[in-house]
C-alpha cells in the first residue's frame, strides 16, 4: 500500500483536487438556483406538488445517463468536466428546491403572521424571518446534497472524468485493490469533512436551535 501511495502520489492528488471541484461547484450553483425555485413552491402553494414531482423524476434519472447525455444536449466534449458539473447541479437543484420549500413550510405560521402584523413587507420578511427560521431544515438538505454529490462524482469515471472515481476504474481494469481502497477512503473522508463543516457552520449561525425541543 505504501509503495502504491508513494509511486502514485501526484495522480492521487490530482484526482482528489478534481473530485473536490466537481462535487462542490454544483453544490454552490445548485443552492443558489434552488432558493428562488423553492420559494416559488411556497409562495404559490399550487406549485408545491408539481415541484416535488418534477424534482423526484429529475433525481431518478441515473447519473450515468445524464453524464453521457449532456454532451449531446450542450454540445460539450464528452470528456469535458462541465458535463459532470451540470449534471450534479441538476441533482442538487432537484434535491434542494424541495428542501427549501419544505423548510419554508416548516416555519410556524404564527411566526409569519406576527411578522406580517408587525409591518414586515414580503421580501424583508423572507430574508429576516422565514429563511433564518427555515435554516436548520435547509442546511440538513444541503448536507445530504453535498455528501451525495461527493459520492456521485466517481460515476463520472465511467466516461473518463470522475476525480477519485478514476482510481476505481484503474484498479478494476488492472485487478488491483490499492487504488480502489485509496479512492473509497479519500471519497468517504472528503464527504465526512464536508458534512462536518456544514454542521459546524450550522451550529454557529443557528445558535437558537440548541434550546428547542426543551422547555425552560
Partner 1 sequence: MITFDDVVKVYPGGSTAVDHLSLELPTGKTTVFVGPSGCGKTTSLRMINRMIQPTSGRILIDGKDVAGQDEAELRRGIGYVIQHAGLFPHRTVLDNVATVPMLLGKSRREARAVAAELLERVGLATEFASRYPAQLSGGQQQRVGVARALAADPPVMLMDEPFSAVDPVVREGLHREFLRLQKDLGKTIAMVTHDIDEAIKLGDVVVIFRQGGHLAQVGTPQELLEHPADEFVAEFVGRDRGVRSLSFDSAADLPVRPLPADLVLDDAGRPAGWSTGESTGGTFTVADSLRLVTDLAISSPVGIAVRVDDHGKADGVVPHHDLVDHLAARRGRK
Partner 2 sequence: MNLNYLFDPAHWNLEDGSIPLLILSHLWYVVLALIIGTIIALPIGLYIGHTGRGSFLAINAGNAGRSLPTLGLLMLMVTLLGLGLTPVLIALTVLVIPPILTSAYAGMRSLDPRVVDAARGMGMRPWQVLTKVELPMALPVLISGFRSAALQVVATATVAAAVGLNGLGRLLIDGLAVNDYSRVLAGAIVVAVLAVLLDLVLALAQRWIVSPGLR
Q: Measured from the CB of residue 192, what is the shortest distance to partner 2 in angstroms?
A: 6
Establish if 8 lies at the interface with partner 2 (CB under 8 A): no
Coil, helix or strand at residue 53: helix
User: Which residue is it, cell 435554516?
Assistant: 135
Q: Which residues ranging from 168 to 187 are in contact with partner 2 (CB under 8 A)?
A: 168-169, 171-172, 175-177, 180-181, 183-184, 187
Region binding partner 2 by CB under 8 A among candidate stretches 7-15, 37-45, 119-127, 140-148: 140-148
Region binding partner 2 by CB under 8 A among candidate stretches 42-50, 102-110, 113-121, 162-170: 162-170
- Extract the C-alpha cell encoding 160: 473518463
What are the residue ranges of helices labelled H in the chain?
A: 2-7, 9-43, 48-60, 63-74, 81-105, 109-117, 122-125, 131-152, 165-174, 177-205
The answer to whether the Cα torsion of 16, 18, 60, 136 is positive or negative is positive
Q: Which residues ranging from 95 to 154 are in contact with partner 1 (CB under 8 A)?
A: 108, 110-111, 113-121, 129, 132-133, 135
**Residue placing its CB nearer to partner 1 in the complex, 57 or 110:** 110
First to last CA, the chain: 55
**Residue placing its CB nearer to partner 2 in the complex, 29 or 195:** 195
Q: Measured from the CB of residue 158, what is the shortest distance to partner 1 in angstroms?
A: 44
HSE at residue 139, side-chain half, CA atoms within 13 A, is: 20
Amino acid at each position: 500500500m505504501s509503495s502504491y501511495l508513494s509511486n502514485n502520489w501526484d495522480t492521487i492528488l490530482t484526482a482528489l483536487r478534481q473530485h473536490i471541484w466537481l462535487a462542490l461547484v454544483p453544490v454552490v450553483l445548485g443552492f443558489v438556483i434552488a432558493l428562488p425555485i423553492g420559494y416559488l413552491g411556497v409562495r404559490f402553494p399550487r406549485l408545491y406538488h408539481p415541484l416535488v414531482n418534477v424534482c423526484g423524476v429529475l433525481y431518478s434519472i441515473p447519473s450515468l445517463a445524464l453524464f453521457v447525455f449532456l454532451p449531446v444536449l450542450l454540445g460539450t466534449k464528452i470528456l469535458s468536466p462541465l458535463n459532470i458539473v451540470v449534471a450534479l447541479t441538476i441533482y442538487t437543484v432537484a434535491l434542494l428546491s424541495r428542501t427549501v420549500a419544505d423548510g419554508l413550510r416548516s416555519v410556524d405560521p404564527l411566526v409569519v403572521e406576527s411578522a406580517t402584523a408587525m409591518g414586515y413587507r414580503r421580501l424583508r420578511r423572507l430574508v429576516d424571518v422565514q429563511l433564518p427560521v427555515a435554516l436548520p431544515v435547509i442546511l440538513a438538505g444541503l448536507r445530504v446534497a453535498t455528501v451525495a454529490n461527493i459520492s456521485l462524482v466517481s460515476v463520472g469515471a465511467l466516461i473518463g472524468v470522475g476525480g477519485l472515481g478514476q482510481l476505481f476504474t484503474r484498479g478494476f481494469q488492472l485487478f488491483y485493490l490499492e487504488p480502489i481502497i485509496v479512492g473509497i477512503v479519500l471519497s468517504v473522508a472528503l464527504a465526512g469533512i464536508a458534512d462536518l463543516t456544514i454542521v459546524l457552520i450550522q451550529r454557529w449561525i443557528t445558535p437558537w436551535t440548541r434550546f428547542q425541543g426543551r422547555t425552560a
